[in-house]
Amino acid sequence: MIVEFDRVALTVDLPAYQLKAGDMATVVDVTPDGEEYTLEFFTLDGETFAVIPVLPHQVRAVGSHEIANARALATV
C-alpha cells in the first residue's frame, strides 16, 4: 500500500510532463478512496520539477534493492 511521503517510480511515460517510466517521486497526497496519488518530482539539486496527479497503476513502490539513475531533462 502506497501512502503519503513514500518514494515511488513511474511505470509509464508521461510525455506531457517530460517524465519517463522509472522516474522517482514523492507521494504528497493520496485521495481518501486511494484512487489517485499526487506526486512531486524533484531535480537533483532539490528544485520541484512537477507536481501531478497519477493513477495507482502508473506508479510502483521502490525498494531497497534498487538504484537511482540520472537523466537530463529536455530544455524548452
Q: What does the pLDDT look like over 21-48, one tens digit per residue?
A: 999 999 999 999 999 999 999 999 999 9
Query: Does the CA dihedral 25-28-30-31 come out positive or negative?
Result: negative
Residue 69 lies in a domain: no
Pairing of strands 24-30, 7-10: antiparallel
Residue-range definition of the domain harbouring residue 27: 7-61
pLDDT digits (tens, 9 = 90+) for 44-62: 999 999 999 999 999 999 9
The beta strand positions in the chain, using DSSP E, are 7-10, 24-30, 37-42, 48-54, 59-61
Residue 45 lies in a domain: yes
Residue 1 lies in a domain: no
CATH code: domain of residue 55: 2.30.30
Number of domains the chain is built from: 1
pLDDT at 76: 58
Residue 55 lies in a domain: yes
Q: What is the pTM of this model?
A: 0.92
